[in-house]
Structures are given as C-alpha cells and as structure tokens.
Amino acid sequence: MKISKLPYNRDSEKLFSFVVNEPWSIFLDSGYPRIDTGRYDIITAKPSVTLETYGKKTYITSTNGKIISEDDPFYLVREYLGKKISNLSGLPFCGGALGYFSYDLSRRLENIVDSTKQTIGMPDMAIGIYDWAVIIDHHIQKTWLVSFNRFDTTKIIWQELHDLFLGVPINNDKIFKIKSKLKSNLSKDEYAKAFNRIKNYIHDGDCYQVNFAQHFSAEFEGDTWSVYKKLREFNPAPFSAYINLPTGAILSSSPERFLCLTGNQVETKPIKGTKHRSVFAYEDKELAVSLLESEKDRAENLMIVDLLRNDISKSCESGSVNVPKLFALETYSTVHHLVSTISGTLAKNKDGIDLIRECFPGGSITGAPKLRSMEIIEELEPDRRSIYCGSIAYIGFDGNMDSSICIRTLIYSKNKIHFFVGGGIVWDSTVDAEYKECFDKASAMLKIFERKSS
C-alpha cells in the first residue's frame, strides 16, 4: 500500500476541481463544511476498468480492450475486484469499485414485466475499478493520496497525481442554462388517480405501502459541475456525490445511507417520515415534534424497518440483526426526517457484493412487501426510474463498503436534466399531503430550476 500526505482543505470541492473534467471522475461528498454529520470525502478518477450495463449486457473496458458479458452485473464487479486485500490504514477507501447501481438494475434480480418506458438512457450500472483515491478526513483535518497499487499503471502516474493535487485550486465556475419549463410526467389529476389505485391495492391486501414517484425534466445547457455546487449549497447532505460519465452526470444530495459494511459489521439507515421546515424557530420545532409523534409516519417507518431487517438477515449471522435506533429525528436544510438504524454481523460465507445484491433495491424506496410494491410501481409510474432510488456505492479491495439511496438526485443526459420525487403511500395517507410532500422534498432542486441561468 502507498500513502502520501496532501495539504488539507476544508472544502473538498476545490480539490475535486483538479479532476472534475476527467471522464469517470467521482466525488463522494459528506457535505462539509456546510454540515458536519459526515467525516470523509473521497475523490478519484481514471479507473483501470469500467463496467457499464445496459439491459442484459455489460460492457467491460480496460487496457486489454472491450468485452461484453451477459453474466450477473454484481458478480462481474466481484470478479474485477479480485482477491481481498488487508487494509491497515484505517481509511474507508483505498481503491476498489466505485459508481452506481441504478434502480432499473433490479430487473436482473426480479421477474418484473416491463411496462414503463426508458426516457433517460443512462447505464443500468456504471462501476469503475479505481486503484487510487484522495481521502479527506474532516475530523482530524488531514488529506492523503492512497492506493493498494493493484495496477502497475498507478505506480507510473503516482508522482504526477501527487503533484496535481499540490497545485492551486482551479476556479472553474461556468455558465449553465435551464432552457425550458420544468415538466412533470404526471398532472395532479393523474397523480391522484395513481394514488387512489394504490389505496385500492392496500385495501385489497396486495401491499401495505408503495413508494410512488413522479419524474420532472427540463432542457439544459452548460456545466453540470456548476449546478452541483449550487445543489450542495442549497441542500448539503452526508451522502452527496458528483459522478462525471461519458454518457452524462449524476448530481446527488442524498441524506440516506443504504448499506455500510466495515469489517463484518453491517448497518442500514432507512428514512421514512418527512416534514417541511419553517424559517420560524418555534414553528420549526413544532413541526419536528409533530413528526416524532405522528402515528402514521412511525407506522410507515416501522414497516420498512421490518422489511430491511429481513433483507439484511439474508447475509447476516443468525440472531445478529437488531435495531439500535428507532424513529430518530434528523434535520436537513429543507426537511425533517424520521430515521431508524438496523445493524447486524455479516455471515462468514458472505461479502459486500452478496449484501448489496440481496438487499437491492433498498426497501425504503419500494414499499412492502417489496416485490409486489415494485410491480405496482412498474404499473403506475410512466417512466423508468434510472439512477433514482438506486445506489451510489464504493466496495473496496479490502471488502469494506458504503452506499447511499439515490434520492434528491439530478441526472443529466442528452441535453436534459431530470429528477424524481416520491413518498411512501399507506392506508392513512391523503393525496393532498403526499403530493405536497413531493414538493417539500424537491425544494432544494427546484431552486436550481428557478434560476434560469447562472
């Protein structure tokens, strides 16, 4: 393993500016310094291998050329991660797989009849195998360039990389324009019709909860990195990310962890229950208390806790799964959330790939029971979700993993910028409250679209 110290900068976007224009550059962003709930930022680029899945085919590109495989995409990631390496650095990521698994990848895991249309065109999976990373630890204010030196090319470019990050940060703010009116794929009447259909399914016993979403899009021109900097200003979040791909860009300000694996310890933190925030302190506190005391939101949260307990139990030792935190309040710039924590101990014959595959997609963004809710989503949502409700993740050469649920996420592709917002519908839900909650959750992203250009 190789580790070199770099100067610490409290705002990691300045360091990312050195590689932002590189294809496959990635910034995993804890939201610091605007919030301090996270600890580490991760920056990397120039992967040694890339894996892009479209439908049944995965295109694998490396220095040896390009091959196509129809094998399970998750197992392909495991294959290219190779043999596990011990990590004695104490750092979260020193190389490995990094990228996203889209919600649509679930079609490779479940037999769901396709009825929605693909409108975005991004890969179902986009994962790079990276042999180096810059790690920023905001708790002790230190920065390192790190690598397991799995690929010979890393040794060749090491000094060049080190010198690159010693340079003067680049001010690369550029113009962007929202060139059309923001459009939803559902009118309010169409949303209400789908809502009532879900309520009928709940009444008939098909399901208990369905996470239903609508899709917004607008014509876009300009620099997506400049958009992301606005997004992290409006809505700093601990599981934010910017991913620059040849096919487009992912701009995520997610507050939600999906799965974390450290050694053999597993954690997931589903969000269910949302209240908007107020600029008046007394009213904001009342809104937070009303969320904590809401029987409807607590019941909704508990359904997903039970679902995720079952999901992670597939990969954990028998009897190890527990719920250390139930219905905890977390507050962000625009909303309050109810968040629970579920933990377990990974079984000896399992790894991070098994864990994420057996839990995918996250139960907090499907509903319960999971498969039936996914079938209802497929029936009622007009467009495929793409990255929305999928997961941005790293899985290290050392076996450690962390991942987000891709909510509060903008997707740029083919001169359009997209986002989805939704919420869990249960028997006690009302259509007006659920429709309003969509816009509460989207408020930070909507600020981007209110600015016609920047």
Active site residues: 256, 272
Q: What are phi and psi of 68, to 5 degrees?
A: -120, 135
Burial string for 60-97 (b: 16+ CB within 10 Å, else e) reads beeeeeeeebeebbbebbbebbeeebebeeebbbbbbb
Interacting residues of 219 by C-beta distance below 8 A, sequence separation 6+: 178, 179, 180, 415, 416
Specify whether the CB–CB gap between 218 and 239 falls below 8 A. no
Residue 394, amino acid: Y
DSSP string, 350-418: --HHHHHHHHPSPGGGTEESHHHHHHHHHHH-SB--TTTTSEEEEEETTS-EEEE---SEEEEETTEEE
> Do residues 142 and 127 make contact, with C-beta atoms less than 8 angstroms apart?
no
Q: How far apart are CA 336 and CA 340, in angstroms?
A: 13
